[in-house]
A and B are shown apart, each in its own frame.
Chain A
Amino acid sequence: MAKSQVSMTVNGKPADGLAEPRTLLIHFLREQLNLTGPHIGCDTSHCGACTVDLDGKSVKSCTMFAVQANGADIRTIEGMAAPDGTLHVLQEAFREMHGLQCGFCTPGMIVRAYRLLEENKNPSEEEIRFGISGNLCRCTGYQNIVKAIQYAAAKINGVPFEEAAE
């Protein structure tokens, strides 16, 4: 099937490429735009490793065609840090709280957590767990992922981070 021009804004910059209709957004990002931060995990819309932020929504990019995202404004893990390399507060939080072990789920976790905190600046632990329920960590490191998101929320809200007693 003929390729068509696909144009989107990715991490604040215009991005164009040719894609067949059947090209999935994750393949377009990774193979055309060389953005290999979003990962292909399960490839069946369960694990969330491919999560990107698209027009203000957390989206599994393995379950969307690139042509559907034509014209969209997309943010991937590559777009989280500031241009000078300063980490986004969520990236800093994942580092400080040991929110990653093997790191495979981390790009999806952070991009998802970003949208969660945009929508709810001060989520409870339960809201965090429900909010990231579309992202799987096969190291099962959820405790520290939740802590990292709590740390980031505290920092965004300008309050000291207090670890819950275990």
Chain B
Amino acid sequence: MIPGSFAYHRPTSVREAIGLLVDLGEEARPLAGGHSLIPMMKLRLAAPEHLVDLAGIPDLKGIRDDGSDVVIGAMTTQHEIVGSDLLVAKIPLLREASLLVADPQVRYVGTLGGNLANGDPGNDMPAVMMCLGASYQVVGDSGERSIHARDFYRGTYLTALKPGEILANVRIPVPAAGHGFAYEKLKRKIGDYATAAAAVVLTMNGGTVAGCSIGLTNVASTPLWAEEAARIVAGSTLDAATVKQAVAAAEAITSPAADARGPAHYRTKMAGVMLTRALVTAKARAR
């Protein structure tokens, strides 16, 4: 399968990339790792006339400790996330989720920014970022702005990014020391998108949940932040009745499509099962 013709651009700075995207208009697409875009181009489901490759821009790379936050450049690969000692120490949820993205070869090339900005509800990192309360630093012609992950996703392949803007980096507040976490993903095989998946971060105080945040993957046209379910869990001991109530609240906000992964009702129920497992695991890991 051979993609349609396009012109290839390789800027070396964010400013140059933005200039190209603005000048070339809607026929130009930024290229990150390409592991979503290139398959789409091979199938001719996408046929951009210009690709602006962001791989030559050093400013978009790297994982940085910034006190109470960690900042990850958009062109950081999943492989680099998996291998980051800083992330393992501070936000281990990211490694756990990243290891469930696609397969080893795809993780060497696929980027965090591509996973987040593409707007595919099947991608794993968006719900993780909603769960963590991350914000996206976006750069465009008229400057820089910050968009909360929970406000970024508008629909399938629809995000708050405006034409000519690119995602530059992601700022993630470091969860409290001793927090529990889990990303539970049901998939048919390695490399598949989730039938349903749930991300949980929680802190325990004695035997009760002090705080909790929940994200859900691939059970609606956007990733979901399950605010009500997390509110139900907070203050509880995570007893069976509370978990059941929280799961019901999470299931209530899902609206999955029926596809080869199963009918909609099944996928909603699997979101509940993944959430139950993630809550149990996160609690067990919390100190």
Contacts and interface: CB of A to CB of B under 8 A. Distances in A.
Interface in A17-44: 20-22, 24, 27, 43-44
Tell me which of B6, B7, B109 has the highest count of chain A C-beta atoms within 10 A of its own C-beta.
B109
B49 to A, nearest CB: 9
Contacts of A133: 103-104, 190-191
A58 interface: yes
A57 B108 contact: yes
A60 B8 contact: no
B191 A46 contact: yes
Contacts of A130: 104, 190
A44 B104 contact: no
Interface stretch (B31-39, B59-67, B131-139, B159-167): B31-39
B39 to A, nearest CB: 6
Contacts of B55: 68
Contact of A134 (B6, B31, B191): B191
Interface string B177-200: 000000000000011000000000
Given A22-B3, A67-B53, A134-B102, 7 more contacts: A4-B8, A44-B39, A45-B106, A46-B191, A60-B109, A63-B34, A134-B103
Contact of B7 (A21, A45, A48, A51): A21
B189 to A, nearest CB: 9
Contacts of B104: 58, 112, 116, 130-134
B228 to A, nearest CB: 36
Nearest to A116: B104
Contacts of A48: 103, 105
Given A46-B191, A51-B105, A134-B191, A22 B34 contact: no
B51 interface: yes
State the 9 A-B residue pairs at the shortest beta-carbon distance, nearest first. A134-B103, A21-B8, A57-B108, A133-B190, A1-B5, A134-B105, A22-B3, A60-B105, A134-B104
A107 B38 CA distance: 23
Contacts of B105: 45, 48, 51, 58-60, 112, 134
A130 B82 CA distance: 14
Interface string A42-86: 011110100100000111100111011000000000000000000
A58 B77 CA distance: 13
Interface of A: 1, 4, 20-22, 24, 27, 43-46, 48, 51, 57-60, 63-65, 67-68, 112, 116, 130-134
A159 to B, nearest CB: 25
Contacts of B3: 22
B7 A65 contact: no
Interface in B118-157: none
Interface string B35-62: 1001101100000000101010000000
Nearest to B103: A134
B1 A43 contact: yes
A138 to B, nearest CB: 14
A115 to B, nearest CB: 8
Contact of A21 (B39, B51, B102): B51
Contacts of B35: 45, 63
A64 B38 contact: yes
Nearest to A50: B105
8 contacts: A43-B1, A48-B105, A51-B105, A58-B104, A58-B108, A130-B190, A133-B103, A134-B104
A67 B191 CA distance: 26
B6 A22 contact: yes
